[in-house]
Amino acid sequence: MTDSPAFRLPLDPQEQPILDKILNIRDHLSILKQDRSSYVKSEDVVQYYTQLMAQVEALNRIRVSKRDEQNRVDTVLDDCFQLISLFFLTIGRNSEAPAVYSAISTVKRLLDHLKEAGFYSAKDLESIGSHIQDWHASVERGKESHSEHLLTLLNARIELCRATLKELQDRLSRLDPQMMGRYEKLVSILRSLSACNTRSRVGYPCPDIFPAKEVNEFEQQVWQIESEMQAERIQHDGISAEDAYADRLGILSLTEGEVQDGDKVVQALLVRCTLWIEIIREKQGKIDDRFQDTYDKLLKIRNNLEQMNLTQAWSLRETDLYSFQRQLDRVDESRVDGNFIDVEGRPADLHAQRTLLYLLRKSYAFIYQYIISSEPVSEALLPIYNQLLTLKRCLKEVKHSGGVDSPRELYPYSMKLNSIDNMKKDGKFMVGNDIPEGQASVTALLNECFELAYELRSEADEKNEENGEPDAEEVNGVGTKD
């Protein structure tokens, strides 16, 4: 049913009925998630959300004197909250507090992994910081309509994310604009090198397809930055590149100790790029056999999530992300003191550690991107919404390309806009007798498209008048709903 980590059974017999009920809720949510025969209705999601909050309140009454208790009840509760959160996104209620749960859980892991990796982009932090603000606003708006138990939990997680975010921001605080430019370039190079390191065919490393040419090009870029900084090239006579990499992490770390000067931060990253190039060239995409299964699993998840990027707007149901989240959570939580370990409890070598961490972080980054890209529209209205998004992009491209010479050129857009507008009943986009969430978003987008078409028509008429040509034939429906 789920890939959640296993916890001991509840010690308090009073919690057993609660566990039974939330297991039943999770089963129903899972069935609802898998049902593609119809779109998810708001009333179904709210029904299970209400049932779940009733069990949370019952659990809190039992745990008055043991707030830190963690057992299987908490594990299944987390499953249910993750699913409920993704369902709120699916039905288009993105700005409500329950929708925040999955987003903030994903960001917490992503921030922890950025800190652990020891390098990140300022743009990463800006995006995360902006969305944390939005999620906090959603929680604040929910004070009158959602349980205080959920809001307290969400606020606590948001504060944890803010603390980690500030810590990461402080590490970049001493970079001047020139150093920041070099730093961002090195971050991009190191990530690209890690992507080269995981290049594979059908999920299995193949030395014959190791992208040596790409790696060489990145190395040239590193040398260019090295020359600009007049930095000494790293030497590690007598020790392996992996040992040298580990030593340098201890000496110049972005996430340990006091905030360092900007040049030291960039030098540390420069050294890591140089050594990482040497390491991945030696490995040629080959992972330690002890961690081949974990590597294959993470690689498959990363590749599947990456492939979803091509069809996200048209086919992604946000609840599809749940199974990926749970698989990733299980891998992440199987680590010991941050280390990936084999069946005998031995840690992986540096190359395997960094490769697996990259795949883990990259996968969470994809999930984060899909969550923040979720449109505030029910999946029932998404086909219409996506068609309008495409029309808007086309009309803007026509406008940027100089417009049209005649209103007749707008016929195809006019016909499509009017056909969509005619789908409304009493001003609403209906599905049967239901009024799905997201009416305001779809209507606003439709109006934007009509306005763009009207502007293009007006510009075409003005051109004809300036050229002394006869007025263009009036075209009913081009840029107007009359």
Q: What is the DSSP string of 410-421?
A: GHHHHHHHHHHH
Answer with the one of 283, 301, 321 that is the final residue of a domain. 283
3 touches 326 (CB < 8 A): yes
Structure confidence at residue 223 as a pLDDT band (50, 70, 90): very high
Helix, coil or strand: residue 56: helix
Give the pLDDT confidence of 419-449 residue by residue, as tens digits.
999 999 988 998 888 889 999 999 999 999 9
Return the pLDDT at 47.
Answer: 96
Structure confidence at residue 251 as a pLDDT band (50, 70, 90): low
95-113: string of b/e by CB count within 10 Å (b at 16+)? ebbbbbbbbbbbbbbbbbb
For the packed helices 439-466 and 411-421, what is the interaxial angle rounded to 10 degrees? 150
3-state secondary structure the chain: CCCCCCCCCCCCHHHHHHHHHHHHHHHHHHHHHHCCCCCCCHHHHHHHHHHHHHHHHHHHHHCCCCCCCCCHHHHHHHHHHHHHHHHHHHCCCCCCHHHHHHHHHHHHHHHHHHHHHCCCCHHHHHHHHHHHHHHHHHHHHCCCCCCHHHHHHHHHHHHHHHHHHHHHHHHCCCCCHHHHHHHHHHHHHHHHHHHHHCCCECCECCHHHCCHHHHHHHHHHHHHHHHHHCCCCCCCCCCCHHHHHHHHHHHCCCCCCCCCCHHHHHHHHHHHHHHHHHHHHHHCCCCCHHHHHHHHHHHHHHHHHHHHCCCHHHHCCHHHHHHHHHHHHHHHHCCECCECECCCCCECCHHHHHHHHHHHHHHHHHHHHHHHCCCCCCCCCHHHHHHHHHHHHHHHHHHHCCCCCCHHHHHHHHHHHHHHHCCEECCEECECCECCCCHHHHHHHHHHHHHHHHHHHHHHHHHHHHCCCCCCCCCCCCCCCC
Structure confidence at residue 365 as a pLDDT band (50, 70, 90): very high
Token pair for 260: 């360092």
Return the pLDDT at 2.
Answer: 44
Return the pLDDT at 197.
Answer: 93
Flag whether 288 is in a domain.
no
Could you give the C-alpha distances from 402 to 81, 297, 456, 468, in angstroms and in order? 50, 49, 9, 19
121 touches 184 (CB < 8 A): yes
Structure confidence at residue 315 as a pLDDT band (50, 70, 90): low
| Range in 60-69, 371-380, 383-392 the model is least confident about | 60-69
Flag whether 126 is in a domain.
no
Q: What is the mean pLDDT of residues 353-360?
A: 95
Considering the chain, what percentage of its residues have pLDDT values greater than 90?
Answer: 59
370 touches 321 (CB < 8 A): yes
Higher local confidence (pLDDT), 480 or 191:
191
Return the pLDDT at 314.
Answer: 57
Give the pLDDT confidence of 126-136 residue by residue, as tens digits.
999 999 999 99
For the chain, the average pLDDT equals 86
| Range in 72-81, 86-95, 114-123, 257-266 the model is least confident about | 257-266
Q: Is the pLDDT of residue 188 over 50?
A: yes
Nearest to 190 by CA among 266, 82, 130: 266
Return the pLDDT at 422.
Answer: 94
Higher local confidence (pLDDT), 174 or 350:
350
Helix, coil or strand: residue 201: strand
Return the pLDDT at 470.
Answer: 54
Cα–Cα distance, 288 to 49 (Å, whole number)? 44
| Range in 152-161, 165-174, 245-254 the model is least confident about | 245-254
Q: Is the pLDDT of residue 208 over 90?
A: no
Cα–Cα distance, 458 to 481 (Å, whole number)? 15
Q: Is the pLDDT of residue 474 over 50?
A: no
Q: Is the pLDDT of residue 479 over 80?
A: no
State the first-to-last Cα distance of the chain, in angstroms, to the nearest integer: 53
Query: Which residue type sits at 291?
Result: F
Flag whether 47 is in a domain.
no
Token pair for 126: 């800006």
Return the pLDDT at 78.
Answer: 93
Higher local confidence (pLDDT), 392 or 65:
392
134 touches 103 (CB < 8 A): no
CA 16 to chain centre: 35
Give the pLDDT confidence of 48-105 residue by residue, as tens digits.
999 999 999 998 888 877 666 678 888 999 999 999 999 999 999 999 999 999 999 9
Contact residues for 242 (Cβ-Cβ < 8 A; gap 6+): 279, 349, 350, 351
**Total count of domains within the chain:** 2
Flag whether 401 is in a domain.
yes
Flag whether 271 is in a domain.
yes
Strand (E) or helix (H) holding 141: helix 122-141
Range of the domain at 423: 382-466
Flag whether 148 is in a domain.
no
Q: What is the mean pLDDT of residues 342-355?
A: 93
Flag whether 133 is in a domain.
no
Nearest to 66 by CA among 10, 9, 150: 10
405 touches 463 (CB < 8 A): yes
Contact residues for 188 (Cβ-Cβ < 8 A; gap 6+): 121
8 touches 333 (CB < 8 A): no
Answer with the one of 227, 258, 283 that is the final residue of a domain. 283
Flag whether 226 is in a domain.
yes
Return the pLDDT at 304.
Answer: 92
State pTM to two decimals: 0.86
| Range in 207-211, 227-231, 287-291 the model is least confident about | 207-211
Cα–Cα distance, 379 to 269 (Å, whole number)? 43
Structure confidence at residue 207 as a pLDDT band (50, 70, 90): very low
User: Highest-confidence range of 35-39, 246-250, 273-277, 462-466, by mean pLDDT?
Assistant: 273-277
Answer with the one of 229, 257, 283 that is the final residue of a domain. 283
Return the pLDDT at 360.
Answer: 96
Return the pLDDT at 271.
Answer: 87
> For residue 424, what are the β-bridge partners?
429
